């Protein structure tokens, strides 16, 4: 990594921590007073890197001791599908969680007052699944060298399912319905991130494809009374938001390259009636390896962060401030070989302790 790149990464971290002014001081948002947030979570990227059950149980005990209440398991990604499927065994990774293991983990977490929120990330981040269903891969009409480079940063078209193909919904529906009964909690994360922003390359798609996917999947979740959660960057269709107010939004990206841009700020989403989780990629992300690891916020700076400040440095207006329900630490394993679960424990625990105090108004 060059000195200039390191400098930009440090500045980006300082910007999001609110320690460097990105706009004139008079325009800086005023943080809200410290208060307890009802949603206090840890997310673990088990899709890219397999984490043993006993490691996850240790995190449950740690979360409970810190007054946290939610364990979000990112169970699928391009590198892995960790729920052992009977309906589609071809998508299973070499290391998976059996249904009995998941039931036991969920029950264990409940005993400690921790809600497990599962995520099967669709319609993008599906490389492990689509490697066995190439007929469902999204194929662009053209690809320039610049587009190929951008694709590589987001996994490539082969990691995205073709939402114009009816067979795609059969596969996604099979997986959702198979695993919904394993998780009795009230929430399910649908993903919906990093799909498509340049629809000229994909004339088979409607620009409202992600909106329609969310609506379709939400109908399936409604069969078991679950509330959907989505990442914010997928909400980039034209015109009005038109999103059901019950959907919770993990607000992680304000469109910083190479991520897909969205013009919808937290205030617009809150004005629609949606609840938000502050999942700003810095400082709440802890990336264990790969280029994005350079954006990890050092614990000393995390101590200075206010959970009411989003990644774009905005805060919610007073009228909708209560719709920011919380935040947490998000462990991403972009390079699953960079750190073992045991090596992740210490730096994660240091960050969890800091953010737990902030979310409890301490």
* ω into 258 cis (within 30 of 0): yes
- Per DSSP bridges, beta strands 39-45 and 115-122 are unpaired
The burial of 143, by beta-carbon neighbours within 10 Å (0-12 exposed, 13-18 middle, 19 or more buried), is given as middle
Residue 194 pLDDT grade (very low, low, confident, very high; cuts 50, 70, 90): very high
CA 144 from centre of chain: 29
Position 27 pLDDT exceeds 60: no
244 class by beta-carbon count within 10 Å (0-12 exposed, 13-18 middle, 19+ buried): middle
Say yes or no to pLDDT of 196 above 60: yes
Residue 3: partners with Cβ closer than 8 Å, 6 or more residues away: none
The predicted model gives 287-293 an average pLDDT of 95
What is the per-residue pLDDT for 259? 54
| Closest C-alpha to 41, from 249, 308, 266, 327 | 327
- What pLDDT is attached to residue 255? 66
Mean pLDDT calculated for residue range 207-232? 97
| Residue tagged 């679950």 (tokens) | 226
Q: Which tens digit of pLDDT belongs to each residue from 305-331?
A: 999 999 999 999 999 999 999 999 999
Q: How far is 39 from 49, CA to CA, in rounded Å?
A: 25
The answer to whether residue 220 scores a pLDDT higher than 60 is yes
Residue 24 confidence (pLDDT) above 80: no
- Report which of residues 191 and 19 the model is more confident about: 191
């Amino acid at each position: 990594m060059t000195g200039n790149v390191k400098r930009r990464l440090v500045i980006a971290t300082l910007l999001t921590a609110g320690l460097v002014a990105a706009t004139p001081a008079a325009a800086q948002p005023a943080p809200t007073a410290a208060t307890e947030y009802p949603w206090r979570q840890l997310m673990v990227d088990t899709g890219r890197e397999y984490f043993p059950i006993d490691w996850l149980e240790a995190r449950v005990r740690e979360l409970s001791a810190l007054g946290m209440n939610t364990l979000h398991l990112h169970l699928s990604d391009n590198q892995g599908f960790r729920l052992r499927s009977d309906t589609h065994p071809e998508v299973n990774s070499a290391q998976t969680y059996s249904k009995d293991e998941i039931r036991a983990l969920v029950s264990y977490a409940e005993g400690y007052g921790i809600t497990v929120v599962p995520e099967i990330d669709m319609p993008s981040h599906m490389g492990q699944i689509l490697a066995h269903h190439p007929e469902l891969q999204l194929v662009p009409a053209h690809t320039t060298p610049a587009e190929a480079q951008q694709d590589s940063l987001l996994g490539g078209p082969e990691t995205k399912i073709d939402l114009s193909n009816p067979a795609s919904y059969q596969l996604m529906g099979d997986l959702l319905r198979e695993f919904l009964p394993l998780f009795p909690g009230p929430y399910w994360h649908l993903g919906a991130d990093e799909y498509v922003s340049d629809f000229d390359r994909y004339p088979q798609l409607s620009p409202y494809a992600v909106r329609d996917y969310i609506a379709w999947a939400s109908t399936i979740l409604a069969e078991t009374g679950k509330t959907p959660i989505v990442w914010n960057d997928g909400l980039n269709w034209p015109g009005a938001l038109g999103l059901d107010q019950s959907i919770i939004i993990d607000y992680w990206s304000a469109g910083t390259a190479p991520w897909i841009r969205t013009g919808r700020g937290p205030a617009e989403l809150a004005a629609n009636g949606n609840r938000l989780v502050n999942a700003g990629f810095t400082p709440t992300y802890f990336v264990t390896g790969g280029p994005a690891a350079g954006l990890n916020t050092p614990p000393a700076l995390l101590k200075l962060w206010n959970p009411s400040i989003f990644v774009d440095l905005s805060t919610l207006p007073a009228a909708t401030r209560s719709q920011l329900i919380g935040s947490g630490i998000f462990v991403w394993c972009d390079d699953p070989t960079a750190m073992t679960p045991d090596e992740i424990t210490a730096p994660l625990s240091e960050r969890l302790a800091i953010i737990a105090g902030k979310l409890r108004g301490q």
